[in-house]
Structure 1
Amino acid sequence: MVEYFNLESLVHLEQTFYETGYEGGFAHGRIHGLIEGRALGRAKGFEMWEELGFYEGFALMWQSIYEKQARNDDRATNHTRRLLELISQFPRINPSTSDAAAEVDIPKLFRQIRSRYKILCSTLGVRPSLRYSDRSQDRDEVADTGVAESDDRPKNTGVWRVESTAPKPVNGQSFDF
């Protein structure tokens, strides 16, 4: 019995190994890409909702202040109302799984909310700011102990200093070389 060897398979051997490795790597990368994508999406989603919550709390606070003081500042109340309307339009579910929410342009809506917040701050004469969660741990630590342990600079503990922070003049004899 004569057995023939397929010489053609040797010619394409490198390509066969490449295709097998590519298919295995692609499947493996797809699984890990989904896992990492979900983790990143969860983290970024939390950051977005934290920022939106800050804006909503800010607007609700000023709305209640104006209601309690019975002030009728049309510009500030209008900007507050519009900011709250924009925040209420933000989807509460994952838009990729819902047909109705898929039509919402999230980055555009988020830019509009940020812009409306800055306009409201300008109208109120308040400096726009947002404190992110990575700094909130430092603020809580300082608030609990009253001392910042990470460095020698005094941290903001909620009390404003009255003394001047101007640098002291240096005379020429104190230089060390």
Structure 2
Amino acid sequence: MDFDLEELVHVEQTFYDEGYRDGYAHGRIHGLIEGRALGREKGFEMWEELGFYEGFALMWAAILEKQGRRDDRAASNIRHLLDLIAQFPKFNPSAAEPSELDIPKLFRQIRSRYKALCATLGVRPTLRAGGAAGSPDGDEDPAHSPIEDASTDSTTVWKIDNKPRARGNNDLSF
């Protein structure tokens, strides 16, 4: 019976290498599964935000159209915002087709154009589509901008036993 002493010396490294290969293969499978799930979740959040911006712009475009204001600054901002949204890819390009489009940069441009449009219209920029709103009694934290943190998944619940807030001495009672 041949006994290789060299093999006995490297037994720990052999087990380590075999465990590493098994762990790597296992991690690759689970990483793909988790990556796809996270990609779906984040993609949905991005499209929810884009849908909000597009709906906002289309609503204000209709309002300005009714008012006959087609050539003012707000209408220009609306056109630019809608053009930027139209540039956003509607499918996920495969790894075989590398894209030249910088999606985070385009998303920042869309957010900036939305904020500029809100400033032009005199409207406070918020994103209420994702559930990121102020407190239930209407007070919003000015330091927290829901537009920057659209990924919050908080559900606002009002207590049933809450008493209405006093509005002041000017209230009329009928």
Query: Normalising TM by the smaller chain, what interval?
Result: 0.7 to 0.9
1:74 CA drift (Å):
1.5
Give the match for residue 171 of structure 1.
Answer: none
More deviation, 23-32/71-80: 71-80
Task: State how 1:73-84 maps to structure 2 within 5 Å.
Answer: 73-84=71-82
Give the one of 1, 23, 41 matched to 1:43.
41
AA at the equivalent of 1:110: F
Give the match for residue 111 of structure 2.
Answer: 114
AA at the equivalent of 2:162: D
Give the one of 124, 127, 130 matched to 1:127.
124
Give the match for residue 158 of structure 2.
Answer: 148
- TM-score, with normalisation over the residues of structure 2? 0.76
Structure 1 position 32 matched with structure 2 position 30: yes
Please say if residues 81 and 113 of structure 2, whose CA atoms lie closer than 8 Å, have aligned partners that are also in contact: yes
CA RMSD of aligned residues (A): 2.7
**3-state SS of 1:102 partner:** coil
1:151 CA drift (Å):
7.5
Gaps of 5+ in 1: 140-146, 155-160, 166-177
Give the match for residue 10 of structure 2.
Answer: 12
1:94 CA drift (Å):
0.1
Give the one of 91, 99, 106 matched to 1:102.
99
Gaps of 5+ in 2: 137-156, 170-174
1:148 CA drift (Å):
2.8
AA at the equivalent of 1:148: W
1:87 CA drift (Å):
0.1
Q: In the superposition, relative to structure 1, how do residues 14 and 134 fare at CA in structure 2: closer, same or farther (>3 Å)? A: farther
Give the match for residue 163 of structure 1.
Answer: 167
AA at the equivalent of 2:68: A
1:108 CA drift (Å):
0.3
Give the match for residue 90 of structure 1.
Answer: 88
**3-state SS of 2:99 partner:** helix
Please give the per-residue CA displacement for 1:74-116, whole angstroms capped at 9, x wherever unaligned: 10000000000000000000033573x7111100000000000
Give the one of 56, 59, 66 matched to 1:58.
56
Q: Rg: which structure is higher?
A: 1
**3-state SS of 1:119 partner:** helix
Which structure would you say has the larger RCO, counting Cα contacts within 8 Å and 6 or more residues apart?
2
AA at the equivalent of 1:117: Y
Give the match for residue 174 of structure 1.
Answer: none
Please give the per-residue CA displacement for 1:13-61, whole angstroms capped at 9, x wherever unaligned: 0000000000000000000000000000000000000000000000000
